[in-house]
Amino acid sequence: MSHTFDPTALREYDIRGIIGETLGAEDARAIGRSFATMLREAGGRTVAVGYDGRVSSPMLEHALVEGLTASGCDVVRIGMGPTPMLYYAEASAEEVDGGIQITGSHNPANYNGFKMVFLGRPFFGEDIIELGRRAQAGAWADGQGEVTSREVLEDYVERLLLGLEGIDRDALAGLRIGWDAGNGAAGPALEALAARLPGEHHLLFTEVDGSFPNHHPDPTVSENLDDLRRLVASKNLDFGVAFDGDGDRIGAIDGEGRVIWGDQLLMIFAEDLLGRLPNAPVIADVKASRALFERIAQLGGRPLMWKTGHSLIKSKMKEIGAPLAGEMSGHVFFADEYYGFDDALYAGVRLIAASARLGKSVTALRSEMPAMVNTPELRFHVAEARKFAAIDEVKARLADSSFDVNDTDGVRVTTPDGWWLLRASNTQDVLVARAESESEEGLERLVAQIDAQLEASGLERGPQAGH
C-alpha cells in the first residue's frame, strides 16, 4: 500500500487542505502511518491526538488514530480542545513522545489540517516532505498500537493559572475583561479558565461551532474584533481578548477599542519580562514594527529579527534560549515560566499579569506606544514557481543600495522614511508586503518603492489574496 497527497496539502508548517477536495480520511490514515513510522525509528512510541471543533475533525481523528496504531504507535486521545492543549499534553507527560492536533486554524470552515510535534520539537519543513515521501513509497512500519483516552482540560487550565503566580489576587479583583472565543475550539477551556480567574469576565461565542456563525475566527483582522469592541464599550471593560479557531493566536483591544497588534502585545510582554530577566534575547518576526525592536533594546533586552512562521520561531527560541518570542500574526511564545509553545489562553493570562506587575492598565500601556503609520499586511498572488525568484531579483537589485537591507526572510529595507518588507509566503502562492513610517507621506514613498521593485520584476500589487 502507498498514498500520494494532493501537492497543495503538504505545507511548510503543517498539513492543510479542503475537505472532500484536497484532504480526507485516507490522507489522515497515511499521515498516521508515516508519522508513526518516523517516530518509532527515532525511538518514540506514544502520540497524543487532539482535534478542533470543525465538523470534519472527528472523522479525520478516527482515521489518523487508525494509521498511527497500524504502524505500531500507542495513542492517547485527549478529545476536542485548542491546539495548545494538545501541545501541553505532549510537553507535560513523560511517556508521550509526539503529538498531532487536527485543526484548520483560522481558515474557512471547509478547511482542515494537522499540526505536529515530534520528540518535543516542531515537525515541519523537511519533516513534512519526508512524511510525504514515506507515504508515496508505502514505507511504513507495521504494528498494533493501543489506544487510551485522557482528560487533560482541567490540568491544562490549572497550568494556565500559574501565569498569575506571585501576584496578589486581591489586586486583580477589580479587573473587568471581555473574551471572544469566536466559536472556536478554545471555548470550553476559556469558560473553565474565566471561572477561576479573579475579577469580572464577560464571554462571547464559547459554544464550539465549526460553521463559525458569528464571525470568522481570525483576530488579526480588525473587523473580526467588532463584537468584542461592542462588548468592551457597552460594559465599560478594561480590555478584551480574542482567539483564533484553534486557540494558538491571540488578538486584543484596549479599553478604548484600539487594536493591540501582535508586535504591540510583545512590547508589553517584553517590558514585564525584561524587568525580571535583564539582557534576555527576545525574538520577533520580520513583519514586526521597528518600534518593538527599539523598545526591547531600550529595556535592556537583545532583540532578534527572525523568519515568519510559528515552527521557525519555536526552533530559533530553543537554539538561542530565548524566553519570549512573538509574531505579528498573534502567535506569542513564553519559555520563561512555560513550555515555549504558542498558547493564546496563556498569553491572555500573562497580559493580566504584565498589567499588574507593571502597575499600569492595558489601555495606558497601549497609549504609551509610539504612533506609527503602517500598511496592513498586503498579500497578492504570484505563481508558485515565480515567488522566490522574484524576491531574489529584488535582493540583487538592492545589493548596491545605500539603504539598510535585511534578508533574514525576504527583503526588509530600512530608509530614512521607515521600512518596507517584501517576502514570499511559505504556505501559499503569495507575496507579502508591509511598510511602516512615522508619517503618511513617508509611507507613500515606501509603498512606491515596493511597487517599483515589483514592476522591475514584471509583477504588480494586484488583487489582495486571502489567508
Catalytic residue positions? 105
Which residues make beta-bridge pairs with 304?
A: 283
Alpha-carbon distance 9 to 51, whole Å? 18
Q: Which helix (H) or strand (E) holds 232?
A: helix 226-235
What CA–CA distance (Å, rounded) separates 272 from 204? 28
Torsion 457-458-464-465 (CA) sign: negative
The DSSP secondary-structure symbol of 48 reads E
Q: At what angle do helices 187-196 and 344-358 cross, to 10 degrees?
A: 30
CB 237 within 8 A of CB 176: yes
- Residue 187 C-alpha cell reads as 471555548
Between CA 6 and CA 312 the distance in angstroms is: 24
C-alpha cell at 71: 504502524
Cα gap 115→308, rounded to integer Å? 17
Distance CA 140, CA 125 (A): 20
CA 317, chain centre distance (Å): 14
- Please tell me the distance from the alpha carbon of residue 244 to that of residue 183, in angstroms, as a whole number: 9
The helix (run of H) or strand (run of E) holding residue 90 is helix 83-92
Q: Please give the backbone phi and psi of residue 169, each rounded to the nearest 5 degrees, phi first.
A: -65, -25
Q: Cell 518576526, residue?
A: 285
**Spatial distance between the Cα atoms of 379 and 431, rounded to a whole number of angstroms:** 6
Give the C-alpha separation, 261 to 330, whole Å: 7
Polymer length of the chain: 467
| Edge-first strand listing for the sheet containing 250-254 | 200-204, 176-180, 239-243, 250-254, 259-260
